[in-house]
Structure 1
Amino acid sequence: MALIQAARGTQLRCKGWRQEALLRMLENVLENGENQKELLVYAALAKAARDWPSYEAIVKALRTMEEDETLVIQSGKPIGLFKTHAFAPLVLMANCNMVGKWATSDNFYKWQQEGLIIWGGLTAADWQYIGSQGVLQGTYEIFATIGRQHFNHDLRGRFILTAGLGGMGGSQPLAGVMAKAAILAVEVNEARIDKRIAAGYLQQKTDSLDAALAIIREAIERKEPVSVGLLGNAAEVYPELLRRGIIPDIVTDQTAAHDLVYGYIPRGYSLEAAEAMRRDNPDRLKADAGASIAAEVKAMLAFKAKGAVVFDNGNNIRTQACAYGVEDAFSISIFTEAFLRPLFCRAIGPFRWIALTGNAEDIRIIDDYILTHFADNSIVTNWIGLARQYVPVEGLPARIGWLGHGERTRLALAVNAMVADGTLSGPVAFTRDHLDAGAMAHPNIMTERMKDGSDAIADWPLLNAMLNCSSMADLVAIHSGGGGYAGYMTSAGVTLVADGSEEAALRLKLTLQNDTGLGVLRYADAGYEEALDEADKKQIRRIKLEQA
């Protein structure tokens, strides 16, 4: 099988740049993905398409469709092309959405095996994944916030312990170094460690805990940042550190703990043994993985009791541990509520843009524009400086930047103008993570402990998707959880193409304003003062009910 890479340059294979952009985004998630042969992008199960015939059919549809048609995709399988109009979305997707009581991991595995469904992750099946950079700033902002809250704004000489170096967790070592900490990342799959080193996200590798700790100790003494990948199992390493009396300053985990069959590798298992058990006795594998997660989380709780800052990084590890007997697992904080919710209240979140021609100079030009025209935004200007220094290019050149309501629109319209006047070499795609203000309902991650108790209300991401369709976005997707996430979440994704046209400017303006506007109102509706303030300041038309 030929290796898939996103096309570069300005030559079109499709009938317009909107279609070409989405095709390149599809190719890009596979170029950046974990297992291209299986169409797997990240998180053990998140796929770009249902199977290879589906992938080929999607490519053919994108290459031949007109601008006034809409491609409909169901769980990674193209269903049909429909005549709509030139301002309608080019692609509509629904991935892994199951009905109520049927939304279980067992049903997901059954229907996946029968070829009826895939899990799209958050950004895999809707072609928005840009490599580990996609969550890098969010991880950095978490570490930086912990530094401000607990360590007098300074993580130099501090020890971060984490695990997991897959498509999401692979951002952690670089984020730790950018925050000036010494970070140890435990990973059971040596190929993932090697991949992060090759990509520039990880500095050192060892299979010895003693050697890893020696590197960490030296960095702490010198107050120098360092990242170390330790080949090992977190369910064994975390308790061993505890036994030795070594208490990190910060502890988390970003393994594939959400999935007990295809994700988390139990203690005592090799990768090959897990693969064999997955085939021969998946129930035994699930039980062993659950017991291992319980052991790891018990160690995390013990670290917390001894003074470490411990948090769940969004992989359902507390949920799994609770199911396997760790009753106080949820005394560990979730990262969104603990560190990021004030930003989400103002719809400040993980916005991203991709240079579709493959020209990294386009990203540099946009960086310069941000540093000049968003100089009063310390979050994004600080980030751009760090990203230029540390973040390598993966696949098509891209950048993430946490921007809020109005800011995303300003940037996108400016970029569209730069495409039009030739300042940039070609069109730019704009998208965001699903973990955004109005785009996700997940009671154990994004919406845990909402002020009004609306944690599990899934209307918001559905409204977000419908509003973005009404606003003429180029691609709109609705996702729900698969594997161990089944029944736990619903989210919405959106992609827009800045091709320099007046029509693109209209799409960008309407979609980005409405996407973030709804995000502000979601938190305002829940009673958050920051969101109410943002709605008033930005003149978002919130409907206020008259009280009897």
Structure 2
Amino acid sequence: MSFQDEILQGIPKEIPPKKDYDKSINHAPKRKQILSSDEKKLALKNALRYFPKEQHKELIEEFATELEEYGRIYMYRYRPENEIYARPLYDYPAKCNQAKAIMLMIQNNLHHDVAQHPHELITYGGNGSVFQNWIQYRLTMKYLSEMTQEQTLVMNSGHPQGLFPSHKNAPRVVVSNGMVIPNYSSQDHWEKFNALGVTQYGQMTAGSYMYIGPQGIVHGTTITVLNAIRKIAKNRDDYKGKLFVTAGLGGMSGAQPKAGNIAGVISVTAEVNPKAAKTRHGQGWVDEIISDIGLLCERVKLAKSKQEVVSIAYLGNIVDVWEKFSEENIYIDLGSDQTSLHNPWAGGYYPVGLTFEESNEMMSKNPELFKKKVKESLLRHAEAIKVNTEKGTYFFDYGNAFLLEASRAGAEIMAPNQEDFIYPSYVQDILGPLCFDFGFGPFRWVCASGKDSDLEKTDAIACSVLEEMMLHSPEEINQQMADNIQWIKGARENKLVVGSKARILYADAEGRMR
């Protein structure tokens, strides 16, 4: 069946053959069992609502097995036969270009090179979902193929409610995700509702179909690292040979080593998942992978002595890096963290002292012990950072809830007023005063043709506009304008594209309009 016919088909009339579990794919960790016996029945009922009754007997056993084994019902059997990636706009079978563009972005979010856990429909962050199951994907793509410019598709946590009459100037899609009220719920409430199949966490750009791959965060990370260097450097000659230590290569965090290279530092990014590290290495987003902590120390010492620009992935736990570098007197200039600590108990953070496999097993079979281990690890993590910051390391929080969860674990990281943390956030200390306060923020575009030549044309246009704007820009934003021009000029050389032919640029209102 062709790609177009598969989309137009929607839900197959006949149950397709069962698919093998592909172990080469980076899969989401098995979720803990959180549903009661009656709630499991409800989860199965919710899953079966998409199918005619005569198919329920065959499907219910399979869905029950998925729920028991993985903690969720993904409907693996219904994964499409055709490869999922951002095709050129004209390849999509639809009645209007807006619908085709949305289909392109959905497929980009689920592309194996882009998505963190593609078979579980998770784009990044450990649980940032596009859909909850593969039938929702199929239904949504079919609705989009039928949509006209006088209709709007309403989405609720991956579930398409249907096409509703609207008008050509109305949104083509209205999306809501994660309808859980934080002040009146807990992480377990969300886990339960997700297991029931009634809500999902869409993150910022996964469940809204706007993710453009790790490039989507690399510009902001580059600006952050570059300006962090400027804060601590004595002069321009002092920029070279700076060491940046952080963690996370799975989703958005995969931007860190590339940003480090562009900013001109030595970066060490710890990652416990071998598949995530190897994916980033294969994509050219990290230069080297080292799995021995002793060899890592020697490599970093050499890089410092030569003032290299190099990105190193350490296949192991970040706590070991902070502790070992302190023991070896390896001075860390900059430090941060991008583990997914908004999701600490379900794969967002892995405790020190356990292997990746041991952690995943404990997470599923003994979640309370896993939670205890995570808290213990956060305490060690925070203490190791404190030891290094007392030597002069500049540590900043990157918005991943590290400081929040460390404080909840009992780490002594609160300021005397007991409201602020002892370390600044990147917004508070860097991007806020340098970019956000002046109206600069992430501006993304995608070349729907899928052509490199079109992306090069847009880069040239952006560069021309920025250079003209800089001629009359206020002095206080000259550095930002210069950084943006350098970013665009180096975009092709830095090989930023993963997935769709897209670009990101921190632009102000005038830049966006022009």
Same fold (TM > 0.5): yes
SS at match of 2:444: strand
**Cα distance in 1 between the residues matched to 2:330 and 2:341:** 24
Please give the alpha-carbon distance, in whole angstroms, between the structure 1 residues aligned to 2:177 and 2:126. Answer: 16
User: Which runs of structure 2 are paired with 1:198-347 in the superposition (5 Å)?
Assistant: 198-262=282-346, 263-329=348-414, 330-342=421-433, 343-347=435-439
Q: 2:190 aligns with which of 108, 131, 151?
A: 108
The answer to whether the Cα contact below 8 Å between 1:199 and 1:392 also exists between their aligned partners in 2 is no
Aligned to 1:49, the other structure's residue is in SS state coil
1:522-548 deviation line (CA, Å, top 9, x unaligned): xxxxxxxxxxxxxxxxxxxxxxxxxxx
> Which deviates more, 232-241 or 26-35?
232-241
Structure 1 match to 2:109 = 29
Bigger CA drift: 320-329 or 138-147?
320-329
Give the conservation status (yes or no) of the 8 Å contact 1:162–1:186: yes
Give the 5 Å matches for 1:344-493.
Answer: 344-375=436-467, 376=470, 377-410=481-514
Change (3 A) 1:305 1:222: same
Query: What's the CA shift for 1:20?
Result: 0.1
Contact 2:92 2:103 in 1 (8 A): no
1:9 Cα deviation from its structure 2 partner = 5.4
Q: Deviations over 1:77-112 (max 9, x none)?
A: 111221111100001111113235324212111111
Say if 1:40 and 1:48, in contact at 8 Å, map to a contact too: yes
CA-to-aligned-CA distance 1:3-35 (integer Å, 9 cap, x gap): 411222534411111110001000001111011
| Alignment correspondent of 1:525 | none
- Residue aligned with 2:504, SS: strand
Paired position in structure 1 for 2:123? 41
Compare 373-382 and 51-60 and name the one that shifted more: 373-382
Distance 2:230 2:357 in 1: 43
Residues 379 and 402 in structure 1, CA contact (< 8 A), matched pair in contact too: no
Of 58, 78, 87, 1:7 maps to: 87
Q: Contact (CA 8 Å) 2:322, 2:388: kept in 1 or not?
A: no
SS at match of 1:10: helix
Q: Does the Cα contact within 8 Å between 1:200 and 1:392 map onto a contact in 2?
A: no
Tell me which residue corresponds to 1:461.
Answer: none
Residue 69 of structure 1 is matched in structure 2 by 151
Which residue does 2:264 correspond to in 1? 180
Deviations 1:445-468 (A, max 9, x none): xxxxxxxxxxxxxxxxxxxxxxxx
- The answer to whether the Cα contact below 8 Å between 2:297 and 2:325 also exists between their aligned partners in 1 is no
Counterparts in 2 of 1:365 and 1:396: CA distance versus 1, 3 Å: same
Q: CA deviation at 1:284?
A: 1.5
SS in 1 for 2:164: strand
Paired residue secondary structure (1:333): coil
Unaligned runs of 5+ in 1: 411-548
Distance 2:508 2:118 in 1: 34
Alpha-carbon offset, residue 173 of structure 1: 0.7
Residue in structure 1 matched with residue 273 of structure 2 by the alignment: 189
One-letter amino acid matched to 1:276:
E
Residue aligning to 2:206: 124
Amino acid at match of 1:24: L
**Aligned twin of 1:144:** 226
Amino acid in the other structure paired with 1:26: I
| Match in the other structure for 1:463 | none
TM-fit CA distance, 1:56: 1.0
Which one-letter code corresponds to 2:290 in the other structure? T
| SS of aligned partner of 1:162 | strand
1:418 corresponding residue in structure 2: none
AA partner of residue 348 (structure 1): F
- Could you tell me how far 1:257 is from its partner in structure 2? 2.4
CA, structure 1 residues 100+172, in 2 after alignment: closer, same or farther (shift >3 Å)? closer
Question: How far apart are the structure 2 equivalents of 1:303 and 1:290?
Answer: 20
Query: Secondary structure of 1:89's partner?
Result: coil
AA matched with 2:164 = F
Distance 1:162 1:100 in 2: 28
Find the structure with the greater CA-based Rg: 2
Which aligned segments of 4 or more residues in structure 1 are displaced greater than 4 angstroms? none
1:303·1:310 contact (CA, 8 Å) conserved in 2? no
* One-letter amino acid of the counterpart of residue 299, structure 2: I
Question: Displacement, 1:217?
Answer: 2.0
Q: State the SS of the aligned residue for 1:81.
A: strand
Separation in 2 of the partners of 1:214 and 1:177? 20
Q: Could you tell which deviates more after superposition, 326-335 or 33-42?
A: 326-335
Give deviations 1:261-292, integer Å, cap 9, x for gaps.
Answer: 22111112222222222221212211211221
**C-alpha contact 2:301 2:330 (8 A) present in aligned 1:** no
Determine if contact 2:127/2:201 at 8 Å carries over to the other structure.
Answer: yes
The amino acid across from 2:313 in the alignment is G
Query: Residue by residue, what CA displacement relative to the aligned partner does 1:390-409 show, whole Å, maximum 9, x if unpaired?
Result: 13421111111000112112
Greater alpha carbon shift after TM alignment, 59-68 vs 376-385: 376-385
Between 1:135-144 and 1:154-163, the stretch displaced more is 154-163
Structure 1 position 346, deviation (Å): 2.4
The alpha carbon displacement at 1:69 in A equals 0.8
Question: Which 5+ residue runs of structure 2 have no aligned equivalent?
Answer: 1-78, 415-420, 471-480
Residue 23 of structure 2 is matched in structure 1 by none
Q: If the length of structure 1 is used for normalisation, what is the TM-score?
A: 0.73
Counterpart amino acid of residue 204 in structure 2: L
The one-letter amino acid of 1:189's match is N
- Pick closer, same or farther for the CA change 1:190–1:82 going to 2, 3 Å: same
| 1:345 to 1:392, Cα distance in 2 relative to 1, 3 A | closer
Match of 1:134, as an amino acid? G
Does the 8 A contact of 2:89 with 2:97 survive in 1? no
Cα distance per residue 1:229-262 (max 9 Å; x no partner): 1111112222222233323011111112222222
Q: Report the structure, 1 or 2, having the larger strand content.
A: 1
Counterpart of 1:51, as a letter, is: N
Range with bigger deviation, 372-381 or 337-346: 372-381
Given that 2:444 and 2:503 are in contact with CA atoms closer than 8 Å, whether structure 1 keeps it comes out as yes
Structure 2 length-normalised TM: 0.77
The verdict on how the C-alpha distance between 1:19 and 1:252 changes in structure 2, with shifts beyond 3 A counting, is same
Number of the residue aligned with 1:429: none
Distance 1:331 1:122 in 2: 27
- Alignment match, 1:93: 175
Is this contact kept in 2: 1:185–1:228, CA < 8 A? yes
Root-mean-square deviation over aligned CA pairs: 1.5
Within 1, Cα distance between the matches of 2:362 and 2:292?
Answer: 27
How many angstroms does 1:41 deviate by?
0.7
